[in-house]
């Protein structure tokens, strides 16, 4: 069968760099850091006392009190980013059939704050089981897609993907596939995460996954730097409206870019560590390029997973060299996690949006906080250190990898009618 073409017609974000698309993109291009001391709770006894929190967020600015109490923060973030993207795409206009619009969301953890609070209240009580009647609906990961569909009346495919830090890219790939196959006209997709709380920070500290550079929080996320010591936890949401091309054209929709390829693989190696030679990452990039009907030379920018961990950064660089060969030296490569931190299940969504804007505006956001070269990383690679670079970006590839060995890649390119 002939696949249908899929384009992006709406974008929305809630991030540590800004609570709308313009602020987020300007923050990326200006090389801003979203990392600062934690304000959500008293982190003074934690090994890591900083994170990339969403700034200036008050749920009462978006929801009434009764509505807000029914949602964990990860769902609140999802709803806000989605509202922006839906408005941007004008997806609720009357002539659109909502039976043909779906919601495929991603989150790695879901309602962690709700689970923590409810369990703590029970343990500190007298043993009588007094749980909030919304405990389960607030906590379960799929509820974000449910709330989005209920608010907007979208009756097409509806579910949430869970593949750790690859979750929202996994969701985008599923959305891309459903539309390609003609099973939906448009799908609201992306991801959200709200793990900046005692359980999230404590759990990742126990794994020794987080940076502990408390003295210089703003520079703690430093992918590819010799002194990197772990990732910085982030939170927020990103939403993209994916739409079948002819459907978008028929209603005169604005088109940001075209989604042209995707792939998923597994490392089949270790619970938390990447394959040391980047095998799964190599395979997933090769398959995504093949799926797009492209050659490695057609890619100009790779937005890497690049979490700022000692093992992960090296494995991904090995994979890029294996996939792109000599063309690797013509690429711009950058990790926007150096600015946003790691949004876990929402990372893929906001990074795909960074790729879309890069393709649209021909500028590559930087990898900030670089000061000391890692001798294990080829110095001839252009990792876009510390400053954004102007260049023609015909196509961009975004990588996201998750605990469990989950690997995902998605490719966007300039739309040509």
**pLDDT tens per residue, the chain (417 residues)?**
799 999 999 999 999 999 999 999 999 999 999 999 999 999 999 999 999 999 999 999 999 999 999 999 999 999 999 999 999 999 998 889 999 999 999 999 999 999 999 999 999 998 899 999 999 999 999 999 999 999 999 999 999 999 999 999 999 999 999 999 999 999 999 999 999 999 999 999 999 999 999 999 999 999 999 999 999 999 999 999 999 999 999 999 999 999 999 999 999 999 999 999 999 999 999 999 999 999 999 999 999 999 999 999 999 999 999 999 999 999 999 999 999 999 999 999 999 999 999 999 999 999 999 999 999 999 999 999 999 999 999 999 999 999 999 999 999 999 998
Q: How far apart are CA 159 and CA 397, in angstroms?
A: 25
Of the candidates 144, 138, 181, 150, the one whose C-alpha atom is nearest the C-alpha of residue 162 is 144
370 is catalytic: no
Among 147, 275, 342, 406, the active-site one is 342
Hunting for tokens 């890649």 — which residue is that? 409
Active site residue 305: yes
Q: Which two tokens stand for residue 265?
A: 């693989």
Single out the catalytic residue among 152, 275, 305, 406: 305
Total number of residues shown for the chain: 417
CA proximity to 223, closest of 341, 319, 302, 321: 341
413: helix, coil or strand? Answer: strand
CB 323 within 8 A of CB 288: no
Please give the model's pTM, rounded to 2 decimal places. 0.97
Q: Please identify which of the residues 52, 152, 165, 370 carries the catalytic annotation.
A: 165
């Amino acid at each position: 069968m002939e696949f249908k073409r899929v384009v992006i017609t709406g974008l929305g974000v809630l991030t540590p760099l800004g609570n709308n698309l313009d602020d987020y993109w300007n923050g990326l291009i200006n090389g801003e850091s979203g990392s600062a001391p934690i304000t959500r709770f008293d982190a003074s006894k934690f090994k890591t006392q900083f994170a990339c929190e969403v700034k200036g967020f008050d749920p009462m600015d978006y929801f009434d009190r009764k509505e807000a109490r029914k949602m964990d923060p990860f769902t609140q973030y999802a709803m806000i980013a989605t509202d922006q993207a839906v408005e941007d795409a004008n997806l609720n206009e009357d002539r659109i059939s909502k039976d043909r619009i779906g919601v495929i969301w991603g989150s790695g953890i879901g309602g962690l704050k709700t689970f923590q609070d409810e369990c703590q209240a029970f343990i500190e009580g007298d043993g009588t089981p007094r749980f909030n009647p919304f405990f389960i609906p607030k906590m379960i990961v799929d509820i974000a897609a449910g709330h989005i569909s209920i608010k907007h009346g979208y009756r097409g495919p509806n579910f949430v993907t869970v593949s750790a830090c690859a979750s929202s890219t996994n969701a985008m790939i599923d959305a891309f596939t459903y539309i390609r196959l003609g099973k939906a006209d448009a799908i609201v997709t992306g991801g959200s995460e709200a793990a900046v709380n005692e359980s999230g920070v404590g759990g990742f500290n126990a794994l020794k996954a987080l940076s502990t550079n408390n003295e210089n929080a703003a520079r703690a996320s430093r992918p590819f730097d010799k002194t990197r010591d772990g990732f910085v936890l982030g939170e927020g949401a990103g939403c993209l409206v994916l739409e079948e091309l002819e459907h978008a054209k028929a209603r005169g929709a604005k088109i940001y870019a075209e989604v042209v390829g995707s792939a998923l693989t597994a490392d089949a190696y270790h619970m938390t560590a990447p394959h040391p030679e980047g095998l799964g990452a190599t395979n997933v990039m090769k398959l995504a390029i093949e799926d797009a009907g492209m050659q490695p030379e057609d890619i100009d920018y790779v937005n890497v997973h690049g979490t700022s961990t000692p093992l992960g950064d090296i494995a991904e660089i090995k994979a890029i060299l294996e996939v792109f060969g000599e063309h690797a030296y013509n690429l711009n490569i950058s990790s926007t996690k150096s600015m946003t931190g790691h949004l876990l299940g929402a990372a893929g969504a906001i990074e795909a949006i960074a790729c879309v804007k890069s393709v649209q505006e021909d500028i590559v956001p930087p990898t900030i906080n670089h000061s000391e070269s890692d001798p294990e990383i080829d110095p001839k690679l252009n990792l876009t250190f510390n400053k954004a670079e102007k260049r023609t970006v015909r196509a961009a590839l975004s990588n996201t990898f998750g605990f469990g060995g989950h690997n995902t890649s998605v490719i966007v390119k300039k739309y040509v009618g």
